[in-house]
């Protein structure tokens, strides 16, 4: 059949018909909400490049988690802003570190809430790199040991899932081994598998105070020209024990979300990163786009591409609209 017998507009005629034939939908079940934990009490510092997002001390984190829970969002991912930074990022793997304390506090208040922790050193090192530094080199294998210690201390604090975001080779295997050997075989790993050296992390680095103090992250995060390599990264992480694999950022990388979902039968997460959030917020503030509609369209596109899970700063706002 062809036009004029065939008319695709018949199924767009009104909202009820459109609802009936809609192929993809968003659910609050899809979301993970990122939170930035900082030291102190009663601290709620706005992040200027991320409207509506804050650095929160643990007391405020608890309030926030209660709100997130009330909206039906399954879980949060935590990023820490430590008291002190040093060359080796010691607070990252201290049982008394900011994240470890935050996880314990959340778990004390809301037993079955899902707590995911970001595992990476960049927020904790004085040089702002995601690994151990020697001169201008970021060392791979010595970093694995620290990441494994960090993941283990998060698990010990009660984290349900750890999310390594450093892009060192072999980190998923090293973390899985450390968790299993220490009685945490139930702790899941959501690996930032295809993580690109992206300009869209800019606002996050303000939020987490984690910008590299020299050079850039191109020797560990992926070249954004490469797609086959992203599939190799994902394959390796699955092989090393990742339970969920992630593509990051999301919107400029929908092709990869699609390819990863097609290629592997494993839950796929996409990180709708700080820059993607900031662009919509900024344009909306200027009155140049309808921010709410752009938000819903972006999130749905990520879902349509194949993501099962969307890590997004929009989680609360979107949950209210669903
Ligand atoms: C840490 C990390 C980053 C993000 C998540 N974990 C920043 C980076 O790699 O520099 C970015 C998240 C965002 O932009 O929202 N390695």
Whose alpha carbon is nearest atom 8 of ligand 1? 201
- The pLDDT score that the predictor gives to residue 152 is 98
293: confidence class by pLDDT, cuts 50, 70, 90: very high
Rounded to the nearest whole angstrom, what is the distance from the C-alpha of residue 290 to the centroid of ligand 1?
26
Strands (E) in the chain, as ranges, are 31-37, 44-46, 54-56, 75-80, 114-119, 132-134, 137-139, 161-164, 188-195, 244-248, 268-272, 309-312
Whether 270 lines ligand 1, by a CB cut-off of 6 Å, is no
Instruction: Output the pLDDT for position 111.
Output: 83
Looking from the CA of residue 274, the nearest atom of ligand 1 is: 15
To the query of whether residue 85 is one of the catalytic residues in this protein, the response is no
Distance, CA 277 to ligand 1 centroid (Å)?
A: 13
Number of domains in the chain: 1
Structure tokens at 295: 């938000």
Task: Quick: pLDDT tens for 140-160.
Answer: 999 999 999 999 999 999 999
Ligand 1 center to 195 CA (angstroms): 9
Tokens matching residue 126: 């004085």
Asked if residue 13 belongs to a domain, the reply is: no
CA 193 to chain centre: 11
The neighbour count for residue 203, using CB atoms within 10 Å, is: 24
Does residue 48 lie in a domain region? yes
Nearest CA to ligand 1 atom 2: 165
> Does residue 273 lie in a domain region?
yes
Active site residue 248: yes
8 A C-beta contact, residue 284 and residue 294 = yes
Residue 200 pLDDT > 90, yes or no? yes
Give the sign of the dihedral formed by CA 201, CA 310, CA 177, CA 266.
negative
CATH at 202: 3.20.20.70
Q: Is the CB of 205 inside a 6 Å radius of any atom of ligand 1? A: yes
pTM summary value:
0.98
Domain containing 290: what range? Answer: 24-321
Count other C-beta atoms under 10 Å from residue 279's C-beta.
16
Rg, C-alpha atoms of the chain: 20
**Paired strand residues for 118:** 163
| CA gap 198, 105 in Å, rounded | 33
What percent of the chain has a predicted confidence (pLDDT) above 70?
100
Is 107 within a domain?
Answer: yes
**Mean pLDDT of the 99-109 span:** 97
Q: Hey, whose CA ends up nearest to atom 11 of ligand 1?
A: 201
Tell me if 265 sits within 8 A of 309, measured CB to CB. no
With H, G, I as helix, E, B as strand and everything else as coil, classify residue 71.
coil
Pocket test for ligand 1, best of 32, 120, 272 (most atoms within 8 A of CB): 120
For the CA of 130, the nearest atom of ligand 1: 16
- What's the pLDDT tens digit per position in 164-174? 999 999 999 99
Q: How many CB atoms lie within 10 A of CB 7?
A: 11
**In angstroms, what is the span from residue 115 Cα to ligand 1's centroid?**
18
The encoded tokens of residue 112 equal 């079955």
15, part of any domain: no
Does 19 map to a domain?
Answer: no
**Does a structural domain hold residue 11?**
no
Assigned domain for 142 exists: yes
How far is it, in rounded angstroms, from Cα 159 to Cα 174? Answer: 17
Residue 4 burial (CB < 10 Å; 0-12/13-18/19+)? exposed
Q: Which tokens sit at 268?
A: 């796929």
The 10s digit of each residue's pLDDT in 12-41 is 999 999 999 999 999 999 999 999 999 999
Helix (H, G, I), strand (E, B) or coil at 46: strand
pLDDT for 67 equals 98
Structural contact between residues 258 and 308, judged by C-beta atoms closer than 8 angstroms:
no
């Amino acid at each position: 059949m062809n036009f004029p017998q065939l008319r695709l507009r018949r199924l767009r005629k009104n909202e009820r018909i459109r609802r009936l034939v809609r192929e993809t939908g968003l659910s609050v079940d899809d979301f993970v909400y990122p939170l930035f934990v900082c030291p102190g009490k009663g601290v709620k510092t706005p992040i200027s490049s991320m409207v509506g997002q804050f650095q929160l001390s643990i007391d405020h984190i608890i309030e926030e988690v209660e709100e997130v829970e009330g909206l039906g969002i399954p879980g949060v991912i935590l990023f820490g802003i430590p008291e002190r930074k040093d060359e080796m990022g010691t607070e990252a793997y201290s049982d008394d570190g900011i994240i470890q304390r935050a996880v314990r506090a959340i778990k004390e208040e809301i037993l079955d809430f899902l707590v995911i922790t970001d595992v990476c050193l960049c927020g904790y090192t004085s040089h702002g790199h995601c690994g151990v530094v020697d001169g201008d080199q970021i060392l791979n294998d010595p970093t694995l040991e620290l990441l494994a210690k960090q993941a283990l201390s998060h698990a010990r604090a009660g984290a349900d899932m750890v999310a390594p975001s450093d892009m060192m080779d072999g980190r998923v295997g090293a973390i899985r081994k450390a968790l299993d050997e220490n009685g945490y075989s139930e702790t899941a790993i959501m690996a930032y598998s295809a993580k690109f050296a992206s300009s869209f992390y800019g606002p996050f680095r303000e939020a987490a105070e984690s910008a590299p103090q020299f050079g850039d992250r191109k020797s560990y995060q992926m070249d954004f020209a490469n797609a086959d390599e992203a599939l190799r990264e994902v394959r390796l992480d699955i092989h090393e024990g990742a339970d969920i694999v992630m593509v990051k950022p999301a919107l400029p990388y929908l092709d990869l979300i699609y390819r990863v979902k097609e290629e592997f039968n494993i839950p796929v997460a996409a990180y709708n990163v700080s820059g993607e959030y900031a662009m919509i917020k900024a344009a909306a503030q200027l009155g140049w786009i309808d921010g709410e509609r752009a938000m819903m369209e972006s999130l749905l596109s990520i879902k349509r591409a194949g993501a099962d899970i969307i890590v997004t700063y929009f989680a609360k706002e979107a949950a209210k609209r669903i």
